[in-house]
Chains A and B, each alone.
Chain A
Amino acid sequence: MTAASRQMKLGAFLWATGHHIAAWRHPKAYVTAGIDIDHYIQLARTAEAAKFDMVFCEDAAGLREANVAIASQTSRSIGFEPISLLSALAVQTSRIGLVSTASTSYNEPYGLARTFLSLDHLSGGRAGWNLVTSASPIEAANFGSTGLRPHADRYERAREFAEVVTGLWRGNPDGAPGHDGQSFSVRDPLDLPRSPQGAPVLVQAGASDVGRDLAARTADVVFTAAQTFEEAKAFYDDLKGRLAAYGREPDDIKIMPGVAPVVAETAAQAQEKYEELQELIPDDVGVALLSSYLSIADLWRYPIDGPLPELPPSEGMQSRQALVIEQSRRDNLSIRQLARHFAGARGHWRIVGTAAEIADELQARFEGGAADGFNVMPSFFPGELDAFATLVVPELQRRGLFRKDYEGRTLRDHLGLKRPM
């Protein structure tokens, strides 16, 4: 694809009642999202009508928050298991890609490869797997583990896991893959036909150094969090620069940072909408969310109007933690301010404004070499996905930055990815 015709990729990140922590309390939020399949079918159709590349689902094998008093004030303790959810959406949509997160920590590669390949067949080649490793002790307690694996260990397991999965998807002309490795052994090839798109798309989200190497080695798409243009650009250049070592071209991987837009007809309306959401965040919920991102349990002990304390390095999400700390020092934020700020967008890039203003920002990162596209994280559903689809997407299309219709059938087609041998 030439530079002139290069167009951005868009994901619609579906999550519970919305990405804003207080989304479910918004008067227009659909509060029973977690138990209503028709709601999700409608969201997927909205995203498909707007020509999004994919819908994207996160996942965790456990509650998000150990403190039940906090958890019970959010809508995130219950929801659909994403592979069953996307399988249902597969036959209720016809073009849009369907990407789900699944952890390498608590699955086996044979079963995961088989399940995603089945989703790929149900959807006619529109499936993708977002590889994550699990850092949460809440998840660990559901799988017979008492402690977390050290970060490097988790990634070594993930590397072997990804190698087995991609091997199974691509098949082996000699029959059995016969993998016998450090963490996994597999004897037989998969018992399903080859993927309609060659292999499901592999997405990855880890942004630490080992995470980036794993992405450079295996991923088709990288989902990341970047607050500023400089952060986004540095990540983009670093990751694309790692590809050559694995015999890959820069265009073989699509980098899609998360973006949490709040859009309205006028800037004042957008700001009002944003503040309305922020007002709905209880302080204890905001602080709890922030402490879970920082992997420290006792953030609430510190004065809420004081600065973030000095923190030891953690075995949890290293890259995200660095992002939060950097932000708080840069803007001189108190714990309360930081908590509210992060509660809204979970460390992702927040833009509040009109369609033209949001399109300007996206265009600058896209054309400035800091992104190949964006994973859009609406504040609440269905309203904010509708708003992005009806206001921002047409603006991007007018500027020639986004497709007016699908050209291909598969997710690899949409993303402009090579079909694997």
Chain B
Amino acid sequence: MENGAIMHLAVSPLPGTSEPSPGAEPDFSLLARFVQRAEAAGLDMVIFADSAPASGSDAATMPFEATTLVAALATVTSRIGLVAAASTVAHQPYNLARRFASLDIISHGRAGWNATMAQAPREAANFSRSEGFSGDDFRRRSEEYIGIVQGLWQGWDEDALKFDKSSGRFHDPEKMHLLDHKGEFFSVRGPLNVARSPQDRPVLVLSGLSAADMDIAARTADVVLLDSEPIESAKARNDDLKRRVAACGRDADAVKVLVNVSPVIDDKMAVTADRLEDMFRGKGCDGFNMLMPAELSALDDFVGLVLPALRRRGLFRESYRRTNLRSHLGIAGGGDR
């Protein structure tokens, strides 16, 4: 492998495209099989969208809210990362931080939060904010929100829980920290009432980024999802982001750039493998987020035909080395306070 670099692979089952099930009821078992197969293939993570409002179109959506779906999937898988989208408009930051901290414990350190910097056009109107937010306000609010959530995730030190029955000391009060955040949009005292994450803190996956959001991504993200571009411009974009990451005092490799790819059905799978290899070796990204219908056949094509080619070329690992999502992604935790 060149420089020991390893490609990271995520898969995003697209809403509204799941195979029709025999009954009219939403089918959890189909999604469970989909994720189990992705796990058997050794993919880093599955990312679930959460399209909240009916957008006026008649497009069906994923029949489950994403965080509840991920909680259920966590109990039928053991290695693969599970990332749920959740909106900063739909949840208060304290509640969202709690939900994901809990998902991370349920999954033994495999949870991630997909936050988007793009405002969904109709969403605010369903959350008692018919006026929505201006673009600037939404950006500042999102960054403040993310900071609160990540801060809350670190309110308990790793070794805060003592469980000492005889002394009567359940936790060490010195190792529990208030957040005491007072900002432009929120004030949150903390701490969270959920224990520290088994992987230090849940993984933050940022998407919907415009050029103006890149510094926020550099400061906060673990993974960014970007749309595909020609190799040259992808490389320039990747280099630029990594420079910004380093400028924040973070290791440039602390943020993984994954490019969204829709496998073209008519393509020979070998062509897909070539495209991924070229982009990866050309330093356009750290890996890919494969957008595909939530159908086993779509996943099987990728796993059966593209993955073996990538492995033969030494681009993708043979199997999971450890069990938590940060270790799959090769990113360290946030560290203790």
Contact = CB atoms under 8 A, between A and B. Distances in A.
Interface stretch (B98-106, B210-218, B227-235, B281-289): B98-106
Interface in B77-130: 90-92, 94-95, 98-99, 101-103, 105-106, 122, 125-130
Nearest to A63: B193
A244 interface: no
B253 interface: no
Contact of A121 (B64, B75, B188): B64
A366 B121 CA distance: 52
A84 B100 CA distance: 8
Contacts of A72: 169-173, 176
A78 B94 contact: no
Given A72-B170, A75-B170, A185-B128, A84 B71 contact: yes
B154 interface: no
B98 A81 contact: yes
Contacts of A37: 74-75, 105-106
Interface stretch (A141-149, A250-258, A293-301): A141-149
A282 B169 CA distance: 11
Interface stretch (A187-195, A201-209, A384-392): A187-195
Contacts of A121: 25-26, 28, 63-64
Contact of A25 (B63, B125, B161, B168): B168
A interface bracket (residues with beta carbon within 8 Å of B): 35 or more
A63 B70 CA distance: 25
B76 to A, nearest CB: 7
A77 B170 contact: yes
A176 B156 CA distance: 43
A185 B122 CA distance: 12
B65 A114 contact: yes
Interface in A226-264: none
A81 B188 CA distance: 18
Contact of A88 (B98, B101, B106): B106
Given A90-B72, A114-B65, A77 B176 contact: yes
A91 interface: yes
A314 B170 CA distance: 31
B207 interface: no
Contact of A191 (B52, B74, B156, B188): B52
B interface bracket (residues with beta carbon within 8 Å of A): 35 or more
B171 A187 contact: no
A408 B318 CA distance: 47
Contact of B75 (A41, A78, A282): A41
Nearest to A82: B102
B170 A73 contact: yes
Given A122-B28, A142-B188, A191-B52, A184 B128 contact: yes
Interface in A94-150: 106-108, 110-111, 114-115, 117-119, 121-122, 124, 138, 141-144
Interface string B56-68: 0000010111011
Interface string A260-298: 000000000000000000001010000000000000000
B65 A107 contact: no
A187 B193 contact: no
Interface string A16-43: 0000000011110101101101000100
A212 B130 CA distance: 32
B191 interface: yes
A196 interface: yes
Contacts of A73: 168-170
Interface in A53-76: 60-64, 68-69, 71-75
The A contact surface, by secondary structure, is: loop
B106 A85 contact: yes
Contact of A61 (B28, B64, B95): B95
Nearest to B166: A25
Given A88-B75, A121-B64, A62 B193 contact: yes
A80 B68 contact: no
Contacts of B188: 141-144
B334 interface: no
A35 B105 contact: yes
A83 B65 CA distance: 11
B63 A80 contact: no
Contacts of B161: 32, 35, 78
B126 A187 contact: yes
A78 B189 CA distance: 16
Contacts of B103: 84
A118 B68 contact: yes
B193 A79 contact: yes
B195 interface: yes
A183 interface: yes
Nearest to A71: B173
Contact of B25 (A32, A60, A85, A196): A196
A92 interface: yes
B168 A282 contact: yes
B170 A61 contact: no
B69 interface: yes
A91 B72 contact: yes
B194 interface: yes
Interface core residue of A32, A142, A143, A186 (most chain B CB under 10 Å): A142
Nearest to A25: B165
Contacts of B28: 91, 121-122
A87 interface: yes
Given A35-B195, A77-B176, A87-B68, 4 more contacts: A37-B106, A87-B69, A117-B65, A122-B64
